[in-house]
Every structure is written in C-alpha cells, then in structure tokens.
Structure 1
Amino acid sequence: MSSPNSWYETLTSTPALVAGAIGVSIAAIFAVGGTNRTAGQVKEQVKEVAHTLATAEDSKGKTAQVAASVMSAPSTELAPPKDDPITPSQLSQFDGSDPSKPIYVAIKGRVFDVTAKPEMYGKGRGYNIFAGKDASKGLGMSSLDIKDAVPDYSSLNETQMHTLNQWESFFEKRYNVIGKVTSE
C-alpha cells in the first residue's frame, strides 16, 4: 500500500483526474520528476488548479462533463443496446487480463464494451479496477479503491448519484451496451 502522499495517489485523485483531462496532470508529472517538490506539494498544486476549474463552473458537475467530453468524443456508430443476460462470474472474465477477449464495464447493471479503450481499462491501467465488474459505487464516489468497486450504490449521496449518472451517460454515448448483469 502506498503512502497517502504518493505520486500515484496525487495523479489519480479526483481533482487530478479532472485536471488531467485538460493536461494539467502532465505538468504534475514533470513537477514530481524534475524538481525537489514533495508529492504533497504537487498534490496541493493540482487541487488548487482543479478547485479553480470547479469554481469557474457551477457545482452541479459541469467540470466533470467538460473533462469527460475531452477524454473522447461520443460515438456515432453505436449498435442498438442489447439486453443479453450476463452473470457476475461471466462478466469477471472480461477484465482486460486476456488481450484476446473484450473488456467490459458494468454501470447500474448495464454492461458496456470498452474494448476500444485498452489504454484506460486494460490490465494495469488506471481504470482497470472497473473492468470485468459492476463497480457503480466506485464510479459514483470517484474512487479507485478496490473496496468501492462494487455494484451496490444504494449508499451514495445525491452528489455521488449525480456523478454516477454522468458516468452512465458518458458511457452510453461512447460504448455499446452488450447486456445486463443478472444473478448467478
């Protein structure tokens, strides 16, 4: 387990992810590698930039929408959504660990094919924690902690539900829905 001020936590924190969508995290990488600044100092700088961005927009998540839209453009070639049943154990086989298989992420029970973005969801990548499972709670919390990568999002507050709904909308516009998670 890394320390609370590790470079990884600095660059994968929610403010850094938002800032990263517009290129600020690249500056943080150079700051960590090229100066005598501590990871904590870099983390604070990234938070300041993210706070500035957040206060420039309203607090209802427009910053997240802007960051998400920068990450990839909506697809114009999506197939009609499918409702094929997929059990959690079947879903777990599509976690990015086998390059010959597609990569799936489920949100609120709907399974999305994110194979087109292995640099995001593939093995060892930043969002791989969500691959092969329904990790709705973690998405709503903007958490990359494995304990939060679970389908039960009933404990999310209003702001976190808004974030989860934004992620669902983001996925709906970019990835094919290939099924629905069912019980074993």
Structure 2
Amino acid sequence: MLSYSSEYSIPIYAFLLSLPLAFIYYRHFYRPSVDQPVNHRSSDDKPLKTIMQAPRDDLAPPKDDPFTLEQLKQYDGSDPAKPIYVAIKGTVFDVSHKFDVYGLGKSYNIFAGKDGSKGLGMSSLKPEDAIADYSGLDESDTKVLDDWHGFFSKRYNIVGKVIDLPAAVANL
C-alpha cells in the first residue's frame, strides 16, 4: 500500500491524475499535419470543428506580378480599399478573405504587407523577426517555414513575387 508520508507522493499523484486530461486534449486537439483534413468525428457522427482552414480547390492560377518590399507595405490591411498580402519566401499571397486573422489589429497582422519569412519559420510574432531574410534559420525552422509556404499555397491565391529579397535568400 502507498504511504502518504513520502515527499514525492503528492507530485506523483498529481502527475497520475493529469494523464486522463492529457489524453483527452491529445484526442480532441492534436493534428499531425496542417495539410491533412480533420476527419475526427464526435460520438453523434458529426465532424468536429477545427480552426485550420481546409485546402481550397477554387484558387486562381498563380500570377508572377513583381513587387518590391516597399510596394508590399501598401497591402498591410490599413486601407480597406486594398487587398491584404503576405509574402513567404518571396511568394506573395492574397490573404484578404481572412481579414479576421490578417487585418489591422488582428493576431497575424504582423506579417501583412511584408515578407515575414524568418518570423514564420521561428513561429515568432515579434516585429523584429517578421523579416524576409530567413538565411539564419536552422534546419528545423526552415522546415517550419517550408510547411507554412505549402500551407499558404493550398489556401491563398498567389498574386506575385518579391523581386528585391535580401541577397542571402534571393536564390534559395
């Protein structure tokens, strides 16, 4: 029988009691890949909600209109008459239909109107990280950045290319 006098018993019991909660969280919220649609079903056979949008099959053919980093700043969500653009690795995406995410004052507006590749790769929302030069990213962060590029490519129209990326990443 277990003794309650051990100084380790409370942390051990707390850990054991937390396991069912961790399992429930894992079963309901874990997604192995952002590119896989959620196929989880609730007990009444209705699909569970996800915050990740599914890939779209109605995207326009990609454009390669040239943008400088300075020109891209016009599309930061501050002018409601203009679309919102986000560039990743020099590819410019129109994210206007997700104003609730990229619009002025919204959670990911830090990436609007710029190429914020480094910040996306680092999973950082710091303004100093939302820059185009991602050459210093390690292998793991570069993989994250590539995953974001793939995610955006399947969900947002490509409207152009950044033509004045920093030299360190211009040919990557």
Same fold (TM over 0.5): yes
Q: After TM superposition, give the deviation of residue 62 of structure 1 in Å.
A: 3.0
Give me the identity figure in percent: 55
- 1:116 maps to a residue whose letter is H
Q: Does 1:158 align with 2:139?
A: yes
Paired residues of 2:75 and 2:84 also in contact (CA < 8 A):
yes
RMSD: 2.8
The structural deviation recorded for 1:158 is 1.0
Report the count of equivalent residues. 132
Structure 1 SS opposite 2:92: strand
* Aligned residue identity for 2:32: K
Match of 2:81 among 85, 100, 122: 100
Change (3 A) 1:66 1:143: farther
1:165 CA displacement: 0.7
Q: Which has the larger radius of gyration?
A: 2
- Equivalent residue runs for 1:145-184 within 5 Å: 145-183=126-164
> Residue type of the partner of 2:102?
Y
Cα distance in 2, alignment partners of residues 158 and 94 from structure 1: 30
Task: Give every structure 1 segment of 4 or more consecutive aligned residues whose post-TM-superposition deviation is greater than 4 Å.
Answer: 63-70
Aligned residue among 72, 88, 104 for 1:91:
72
Query: What TM-score do you get using the length of structure 1 for normalisation?
Result: 0.64
Unaligned runs of 5+ residues in structure 2 are 1-20, 39-49, 166-172
TM-score by length of 2: 0.69
Where is the helix percentage greater, Structure 1 or Structure 2? 1
1:85 alignment partner AA: P
CA deviations 1:117-163 (Å, max 9, x no partner) are 00000000000000000000000000000000000111111111111
Describe the shift of the 1:105–1:67 C-alpha distance in structure 2 as closer, same or farther (beyond 3 A): farther
Residues 1:157 and 1:67: Cα distance change in structure 2 (over 3 Å): farther
Quote the Cα distance in structure 1 between the aligned partners of 2:87 and 2:129.
Answer: 14
Structure 1 residue runs without a partner (length 5+) = 1-47
2:66–2:161 CA contact under 8 A, matched in 1: yes
